[in-house]
Amino acid sequence: MHILNFQYQDASKVDNGFWREIGVKSDAITETESILLSARIKAMLDSFKMPALLELCQLYDIAKMDNEESIKDQLRSLPLEQRHLILFLHDFSNRKKKSIYKYYDSLSLEETQYTKSSLAKLIHLYRINPVHLIQIFTWFLWDNRASGKLFVFDKNISSSVAYNIAREYNFHIQLRDALFQGSGSKNYYRVFSSSAVSNKVLILLYRLINDAPRPDFVTAPRNREVSPALFLIDVEKKTVEIKALTTEEISIKRYLEQTLGSPLSHVQTQVYTEYSKEIFINTIIKGSTTTAIGQPIEDFTVFKVRFRNSPLKNSPKVTLELDDLDIWPSVEEAHAQGAVNIESLKDLESLHFKSSEGSRLIKSTILDNGNVIFSMDDSNLDQFAKKAIEKKFVDKFGIPLYREISNEHFEEGKADKIDYLLTASSVEKPSPYERSIITSLKEQRILEENVTKYFYCLNCMIDYSYQDPEDVPNECDGCDGQQIKTKVGSVLSVNINEVYKFTKDRIKVESYAWFISRENELNLGPTKLRCMHLAAVQNEERQLQLVFADKSIKKSVLRYLNRQMKPTLLILIGQQERMIDYSDYSCVEPINFGKIYTKGEREFSSLLDDIYETLERRTKTYISAAANAAFQAISNLSEEKLSQKEYTDKMFEDHVFAILKDIFPNAEKWGKEMSGQEVPEGIFTISYRDDKENKVYQKVFSYDCKLNTNGKGYDLNISEQRKAVQYVNTLNQNDYIRAFSDRHQLSGHIFISNQFRENNFKTMSEHFYEHLDDSYDTQAVFLNVKVLCHLYDNFCKHSVKINNSRKIFYRDLFKALMAEQVTVSSIDNVLRKALDESLAEYKTLATNKVTLELKGP
């Protein structure tokens, strides 16, 4: 498919397709009835002033007249084809006047110039060559897109080759293929149009994003929807600006480097550090009276501001907006009320302002190195207006637009910088500030530098590593070249053991509010995570799990951590927190190690308190949702052969625990995270009061999950019997269980499976009777998943009634669990009394009847 410029190089080939390609509603114009067409021409001409009309007279060889109406009459009398063309070009000029004027003025036209009317300019250009309209259309799309990424060629480039990129079909094919391959052979591209004027080569590319029919008044045409990408080569300045997706940008950059024979470097300005932290903060929280230059800023009204986080619970984003009014008094009030605060440059996410240059959005971008860039959508802005806005912004806030700004003056910025340095394998030209951090991290052995020495031949450029200078030869073994050079390279890497030790030392401070209760390692397939379990000194029931990750975390691992239903702080080392979406993981809160590193000991304690409270609140609301999801997963669990790849024993354990946790809140799961220790899957308790005996009964059950995958029933063989008895004997000696249980031991050990072997019931019970310590009579109990799901289904359906009769429900449920086999009928017996409103301890108010009463007849 040829570029549009070539397709319509010959004026005789201009058709409706040409006009459609450049966005002109030509079909609607040509199908307009004569009377309506005349009315449309008249309305258009009525908007023209005399100088513009005189230019049209010149173009159409109409004798000059002093009377506007006479000129308009002459123009309305032009042949139908000419009138159609005028309307086509007028329609094309909509919203493109800036691009039309800029393009027209850039041409070196020897003929008469038209300066008063965009329509006259278009008629003039169309008569020279219709391709000029295609080029204007291309420039319009370029001008209408915000600034892209700017690169500079390291070497001189051939202007003829650069122009060939716009003109030659073979170059277009190569560019198209490069983009196709760069997308992983998924996206199709075409070079749609180009423009080569004033030492500038502009290319417009189309990416196919959809191919489907669209509804239409007459018939449904095929619509191949596209997304544009553009790049501009400035041959004189040796620069390239690319406005495209990141993957497209990479492919375009590689193509230009190969085609023009020069590497491209991203244009980077010196990082800006010369601003005052206090001034920046005050311009936000005292913005109605404070500016960086100490004087009011005229013609710059900020009416909307958005903050990335706030001091409110869960740190939500906060947006403040007023219609046509200055927002700063509202920001001051919000700060006084504790709703917003500025602790970093990045806290200011965006602002909308109005001025004589128009309404614009300024937003901040957080770079990987922790620095921040404030940028503005500068589409359709001339350079004078753009510079005026830039000056007002810097006068107001003391920081520039379009400049990388160091965030090092803020503690949050320091944390981001540490995360960046832990992420980077090397840092080119580190700033003094970055160098000082690297030195500190290396002294603490958190950051390690691995130095590699190598030599190479200037002729064949093959690298060889060496340890001792004597190992460097005088000449190359490959080509006998004698120009041998040596270099030293270094790679930075994180020592996760030292990160773990650093965090552990912080927690071990004597006056600390938290202590380490235990440590373990999670083995989740190829992923291994070190874990640290904390408990609060004042209240050991407040527990927080710390998980350390120095590699990217898979979704499956996050789902596992979430299914544990434990408040979990995921400490990311050398990773970017913003690269992972944690919105679906209520029990997991991510934090970069940089925040821990920069916090003082007391501040870190407070941070843990805040995180625990947030996670505890979210975890409580998550339990019912997790249990419902677990119910859906195992309610139809097959008794036939299962694929362990699709459904694993770990999933089964997590699902069972979620359901048990919702029914029995006082529950704990051990399972895989205490692998290698003689403990069952977990425990749960049942407590209820007997009013007749005026006594509280407190029961403890342990449980084990046994997923059967062969369709023959889980085999509780002699090895399983021995393990179960060992679990029970161990737990029965636990002081906390003995103190809690009214029988000073476990009431039962429950086996939960999707399918049992019936002959195991008797053998397991006999083994318990024979091998338990003489002072214990803990029973072996068998609970099929279908029975558990039947219990949970009714527990959810009748939650209000069960809550009103919770003494009866848990009393009778305990009795049902003390049978060797728990059955659907035994659960139904529990529910029969629990749902009997005549036995309910509490009554339910018929709130719907209250509502009807209030509404009246």
| Per-residue pLDDT at 645 exceeds 80 | no
For residue 290, what are its two tokens? 């404070």
Do 40 and 87 contact (CB within 8 A), yes or no?
yes
Specify the range with the lowest mean pLDDT, choosing from 19-23, 129-133, 267-271, 774-778: 267-271
3-class state of residue 514 by DSSP:
strand
For 83, other C-beta atoms within 10 Å of its C-beta total 19
| Per-residue pLDDT at 93 exceeds 70 | yes
Q: Name beta bridge partners: 234.
A: 200, 239
108-145, pLDDT tens digit by residue? Answer: 776 677 888 889 999 999 999 999 999 999 999 998 78
Select the highest-mean-pLDDT range: 216-225, 477-486, 720-729.
720-729
Q: What is the mean pLDDT of residues 351-380?
A: 83
List all residues 6 or more positions away from 221 whose beta carbon is below 8 Å from its beta carbon. Answer: 213, 214
Q: What is the mean pLDDT of residues 161-178?
A: 93
Higher-confidence position of 617 and 824: 824
| Per-residue pLDDT at 334 exceeds 60 | yes
For residue 762, what are its two tokens? 């008797």
Higher-confidence position of 728 and 28: 728
Do 224 and 206 contact (CB within 8 A), yes or no?
no
Report residue 673's pLDDT band, with 50, 70 and 90 as the boundaries.
low
Specify the range with the lowest mean pLDDT, choosing from 221-230, 320-329, 484-493: 484-493
Q: How far is CA 751 from CA 623, 704, 719, 788, in A?
A: 22, 5, 14, 11
Report residue 675's pLDDT band, with 50, 70 and 90 as the boundaries.
low
| Per-residue pLDDT at 550 exceeds 90 | no
List all residues 6 or more positions away from 124 whose beta carbon is below 8 Å from its beta carbon. Answer: 59, 109, 111, 112, 114
What mean pLDDT value characterizes the chain?
Answer: 86
Report residue 531's pLDDT band, with 50, 70 and 90 as the boundaries.
very high
According to the model, what pLDDT value does residue 175 have?
Answer: 95
According to the model, what pLDDT value does residue 545 have?
Answer: 92
Q: What is the mean pLDDT of residues 438-453?
A: 85
According to the model, what pLDDT value does residue 302 have?
Answer: 94
308-318, pLDDT tens digit by residue? Answer: 888 887 678 99
| Per-residue pLDDT at 601 exceeds 60 | no
| Per-residue pLDDT at 490 exceeds 80 | no
Report residue 589's pLDDT band, with 50, 70 and 90 as the boundaries.
confident
Interatomic CA distance for residues 228 and 191, integer angstroms? 10
Higher-confidence position of 177 and 587: 177
| Per-residue pLDDT at 741 exceeds 80 | yes
Type of residue found at 136: I
Report residue 477's pLDDT band, with 50, 70 and 90 as the boundaries.
low
Q: What is the mean pLDDT of residues 157-172?
A: 92
Specify the range with the lowest mean pLDDT, choosing from 242-246, 370-374, 422-426: 422-426
Specify the range with the lowest mean pLDDT, choosing from 453-462, 655-664, 698-707: 453-462
Report residue 11's pLDDT band, with 50, 70 and 90 as the boundaries.
confident
According to the model, what pLDDT value does residue 242 have?
Answer: 94
| Per-residue pLDDT at 562 exceeds 70 | yes
Q: What is the mean pLDDT of residues 687-692?
A: 87
According to the model, what pLDDT value does residue 300 have?
Answer: 93
The whole-angstrom distance between residue 142's C-alpha and the CA centroid of its chain comes to 28
Q: What is the mean pLDDT of residues 594-618?
A: 80
pTM (global) more than 0.85 = no
For the sheet containing 543-549, what is the strand order? 514-524, 527-536, 543-549, 568-572, 588-592
Do 547 and 569 contact (CB within 8 A), yes or no?
yes
Q: What is the mean pLDDT of residues 443-464?
A: 74
Q: What is the mean pLDDT of residues 580-608?
A: 76
Report residue 228's pLDDT band, with 50, 70 and 90 as the boundaries.
very high
Interatomic CA distance for residues 527 and 507, integer angstroms? 25
Q: What is the mean pLDDT of residues 368-390?
A: 81
Residue for token digits 């390239």?
240
For 226, other C-beta atoms within 10 Å of its C-beta total 16
Q: What angle do CA 609, 612, 615 make, to 5 degrees?
A: 150
According to the model, what pLDDT value does residue 305 have?
Answer: 95
Report residue 735's pLDDT band, with 50, 70 and 90 as the boundaries.
very high
**What does DSSP assign to residue 460?**
T
For 116, other C-beta atoms within 10 Å of its C-beta total 16
| Percent over 90 (pLDDT), the chain | 38
According to the model, what pLDDT value does residue 602 have?
Answer: 61
Interatomic CA distance for residues 715 and 102, integer angstroms? 83
Written as one string, the DSSP assignment of 676-726 is TSS--SEEEEEEEEETTTTEEEEEEEEEEEE---SSS-B---HHHHHHHHH
Higher-confidence position of 516 and 453: 516
Report residue 36's pLDDT band, with 50, 70 and 90 as the boundaries.
confident
List all residues 6 or more positions away from 501 whose beta carbon is below 8 Å from its beta carbon. Answer: none
For residue 758, what are its two tokens? 């019936």
Interatomic CA distance for residues 846 and 852, integer angstroms? 10
Do 700 and 746 contact (CB within 8 A), yes or no?
yes
3-class state of residue 675 by DSSP:
coil
- Maximum Cα–Cα distance across the chain: 123
